[in-house]
């Protein structure tokens, strides 16, 4: 694997993210001897032990600054499995009924909520009231109102709220952002994003409105939205959207299949985007300026990602996204570091407002919907 570690370290430091958080930040010329991490550790409990919760848990084996210490589930058998597999202490295991007693456990710092979208709010608020920092998967909630209530609850409790924007820490994504911020691409003239995959089991929670809050837009579509924002450096001021549904049996009322949408940016350009649950190989971010371009394809999957510019292929390390995310978030919580674009509740709320505007445009036959701050 080719890497350009020293350059990436410098670029990431320029983005205001603490270097100490990330596992690749050893000196490129240092001895191969591994020096044990001796700093502060963020103790994490994962709530929701499904496939993605397991992916995060596995990734955290690579972390230096974040440590998996607890689990929360409504399934006793899963708790026992995780206790054995990850060496968790029995006192750090909770079910959904006794979860609130986590407030009495000083060994857990943060709860990572990895449940169906609509359930994020209640668990996040319960964790905040227990005095624990909160990480929630994206989209951060089932709707804008729930997202706002989550932010308010965490502010009231004096805890941090973050959203699982793993790509904000990922090297190829960071390089695209650096190219745009540095001016190497020049004036941004066009942004195009495509995200989609063919969803499988028709009985899964992602195809149930009462759990997902929507369809593809509430899952893969948020990547298209977020990529326009960090790819352009602009906040959209209006949206228009159109939906195509070829399988109304699988994609019932309130579950979108394929949406194409446009976002108007303050600089006058129109970003062209799509989101789908009906076809694979749609995973691309393209940003064009008057001096050059940057493209990621694949752009949003778990890896390996690939990128190119007008100067040739991007040379970035292939990493475990969730490990970088968790160490980066640990640095934010423990050391007060920051990253741009951020991964806080306000960032999540911005995407939620755009999603709601897209759905509103579809309800109004593609009418332009202005976005409010």
Indicate which residues carry an active-site annotation. 138, 223
- Burial label for 276, CB within 10 Å (0-12, 13-18, 19+), is buried
Q: Token pair of 17, please?
A: 């993210």
> How far are the Cα atoms of 137, 203, 235, 275, 343 from residue 226, in angstroms, in the given order?
14, 28, 10, 12, 11
Distance CA 274, CA 252 (A): 19
d(CA 162, CA 190): 29
Q: Positive or negative, the Cα torsion across 346, 352, 354, 360?
A: negative
CA distances from 138 to 62, 63, 240, 346, 372 (A): 22, 21, 22, 12, 21
Which residue from 143, 182, 136, 179 is spatially nearest to 159, judged by alpha carbons? 136
């Amino acid at each position: 694997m080719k890497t350009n570690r020293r350059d990436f370290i410098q670029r990431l430091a320029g983005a205001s993210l603490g270097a100490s958080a990330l596992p690749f930040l050893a000196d490129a010329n240092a001895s191969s001897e591994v020096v044990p991490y001796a700093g502060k550790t963020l103790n994490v409990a994962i709530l929701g032990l499904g496939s993605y919760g397991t992916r995060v848990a596995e990734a955290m084996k690579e972390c230096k600054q974040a440590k998996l210490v607890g689990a929360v589930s409504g399934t006793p058998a899963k708790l026992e499995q995780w206790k054995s597999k990850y060496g968790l202490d029995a006192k750090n295991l909770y079910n959904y009924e006794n979860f609130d007693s986590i407030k009495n456990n000083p060994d857990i710092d943060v709860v990572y909520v990895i449940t169906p979208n609509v359930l994020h709010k209640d668990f996040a608020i319960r964790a905040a009231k227990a005095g624990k920092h909160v990480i929630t998967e994206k989209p951060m909630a089932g709707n804008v109102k729930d997202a706002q209530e989550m932010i308010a609850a965490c502010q009231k409790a004096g805890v941090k709220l973050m959203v699982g924007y793993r790509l904000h820490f990922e090297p190829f994504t960071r390089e695209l952002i650096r190219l745009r911020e540095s001016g190497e691409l020049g004036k941004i003239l066009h942004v195009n994003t495509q995200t989609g995959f063919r969803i499988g089991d028709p009985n899964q929670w992602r195809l149930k409105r009462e759990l997902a809050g929507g369809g593809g837009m509430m899952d893969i579509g948020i990547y298209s939205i977020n990529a326009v924002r960090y790819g352009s450096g602009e906040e959209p001021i209006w949206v228009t959207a159109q939906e195509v549904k070829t399988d109304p049996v699988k994609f019932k009322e309130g579950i979108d299949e394929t949406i194409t949408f446009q976002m108007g940016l303050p600089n006058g350009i129109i970003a062209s985007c799509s989101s789908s649950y009906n076809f694979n190989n749609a995973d691309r971010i393209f940003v064009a300026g008057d001096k050059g371009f940057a493209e990621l394809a694949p752009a949003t999957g778990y890896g390996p990602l690939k990128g190119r510019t007008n100067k040739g292929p991007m040379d970035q390390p292939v990493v475990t996204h969730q490990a970088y995310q968790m160490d980066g978030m640990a640095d934010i919580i423990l050391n007060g570091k920051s990253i741009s674009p951020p991964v806080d509740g306000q960032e999540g709320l911005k995407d939620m407002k755009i999603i709601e505007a897209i759905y509103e445009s579809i309800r109004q036959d593609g009418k332009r919907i202005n976005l409010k701050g």
